[in-house]
Structure formats: structure tokens, C-alpha cells
Amino acid sequence: MVENTEQIKILCVDDERNVLRALERIFLDDDYEIVLAGSGDEGLKIMEESGPFQVVISDYRMPVMNGVEFLKGVYDRWPETVRIVLSGYADASAIVAAINEGHVYRFIPKPWNDDELRITIQTCLERYFLQKKNNELLNQLGAANQALEEKVQLRTEQLELRNRALEFSQSLLGNLPVGVAGIDINGMIAYCNDIAAKLLKNVCGDVLGVDVATSCDLSMSSLVEQVRRDKNISVDTVLGGTPCRVIAHTLAFCDSETIILVFLEL
């Protein structure tokens, strides 16, 4: 049986007292709390006041409220409770009604075999606690999925915000009235706005992705080396025949040193 810490409670419902006493005697040696009810109405009231019950055993033929009606009421309000119906009548339609309306787990004929009934109750309890454990796991999984969805949603919102910020930054840099270029740690031109690209194409040919040391003329490669050495510079120079002032400094980015160059045509 699945491990549990609940007090096992079994409700027996029958309008015949001798049947109830017989059911009670079957479980004298078991650590079960056996509760007796003489009618369906009384059984529902007991479940309301003293539940939960893991198993309910009900007679089929009872006055006022028969077993199927009672067990249907149990299913509607306590669907986790395992339901068993007893009947001394081999009525196929009654069995079908009990299964369809009362969602009965077992249909046991009267007179019953005590040992078989005890085994059936053990099976019902295993089913109850297994289903309960499954529901707990499903709830935990649902909570974990919900938390994951919230994290994904938050991450998506953060990425969308960063993308918008990046688009804004790129648009801002692209529309500045000065040239801006970025050189990564390997000496590659990683960023260049339109003004800088127009200026540098005369000294580097292709601009984005080129290696300054091997693809640009001496004036540009010397300028980059000076920035790496001095960290911050502001110099007037001529690049590709265009006089300009270059303001540059190094910047720590992703655990590496990059260079930012700003060009102002003179």
C-alpha cells in the first residue's frame, strides 16, 4: 500500500442493522475507523460532518434514497472517495446504473465472502492513496509549470525590452552628427555608424568585420594602438584625406577591452 499518515475511515450505509454489525465485525482486527449509517441521508450528513472517508460501502436497495442515488451524491461532493455497492439482487440494470451514475469501483453481491471483502477494501485503499499521490504530483507539476511559464514570460519581456533598447541605441548612434566606431579586443571593427563608415572606407576599404591591423592603413592602425596604450586620447589627424578630431577611450565589455572611437570632421 502507498505510504500514508491518514486515519483510515470507512463508512458503511445500510438500512438493516444486522448488515451494518456484520460489516463492522469484519474489520475488528484492522486499524480502521468504521462509521455506520442507516440511510443515504444519514450517510451524506456524516460525511459532511466527519469526513474525509477513504471508502464508502453502501447497500443498493434502501428506502427514500437508494444506493445509486447516495453514491452519486458522494461522487459529486467527494469524488476521491472510493465507492462500493452491495446488493442481494443480480440486477444487470442496477449494476450499470451504479457504475454510470455512482461511479462505483466495485459491485459486491450479498451474501459476501468476508476475506474477499477485506481484500477488496485493501485494494480500494491502495487505489485511494495512489490516486491522492498522483493528484499531489500533478498539482506540484502544475505549480512548477506555472512558475516556469511565469519565468519564461518574464524572460521574454526582458528580452523584448533589451531588443527595443538595442534598436533604440543603434538608431541613436546611427543618427548622431558624428562618426562612431567600436573596435573589439581582437582589433576588428565591430560597430560603425554611417558617418564613421563613410570616413573609414577611404582607409579600410570594407569597414565592418575588418581587422584594423591588416586591412586599414597606417594612420588608423596607429590610432588604435595609441588608444590601447594611453586608454584615453583626443587628437587631430587626417584619415583618408579628411581632417578630423578623434576622441577615443577603452571600455570594459564582456570581460574584454574594447575601443570606442568618435570622429568629428574639421
Q: What is the pLDDT of residues 51-101, one digit of tens each?
A: 789 999 999 888 888 888 899 999 999 999 999 988 876 565 666 666 776
Percent of the chain with pLDDT strictly greater than 90: 31
Q: Is 39 helix (H, G, I), strand (E, B) or coil?
A: coil
pLDDT band at 218 (very low <50, low <70, confident <90, very high): confident
Average pLDDT score, the chain: 86
What integer pLDDT is reported at residue 172 of this predicted model? 79
Average pLDDT over residues 177-190: 88
pLDDT of residue 169 exceeding 80, the answer is no
DSSP bridge pairs for 242: 239
Q: Is 262 exposed, middle or buried (0-12, 13-18, 19+ CB in 10 A)?
A: middle
Contact present, 61 and 81 (Cβ < 8 Å) = no
Hey, what's the cell of 140? 506540484
Contact present, 46 and 91 (Cβ < 8 Å) = no
**Phi-psi region for residue 130, left (φ > 0), alpha (ψ -120 to 50) or beta?**
alpha
Percent of the chain with pLDDT strictly greater than 70: 93
Q: What is the pLDDT of residues 131-167, one digit of tens each?
A: 888 888 988 988 888 888 889 898 888 888 888 888 8
What integer pLDDT is reported at residue 82 of this predicted model? 93
Domain boundaries, given as residue ranges, for the chain: 9-132, 176-265
What integer pLDDT is reported at residue 54 of this predicted model? 95
Q: What is the CATH number of domain 176-265?
A: 3.30.450.20
CATH architecture of 9-132: 3-Layer(aba) Sandwich (3.40)
Q: Is 248 helix (H, G, I), strand (E, B) or coil?
A: strand
What integer pLDDT is reported at residue 1 of this predicted model? 45
Q: What gap in Å lies between CA 10 and CA 31, rounded to an integer?
A: 11
**DSSP H/E element including 75:** helix 67-77
pLDDT of residue 10 exceeding 70, the answer is yes
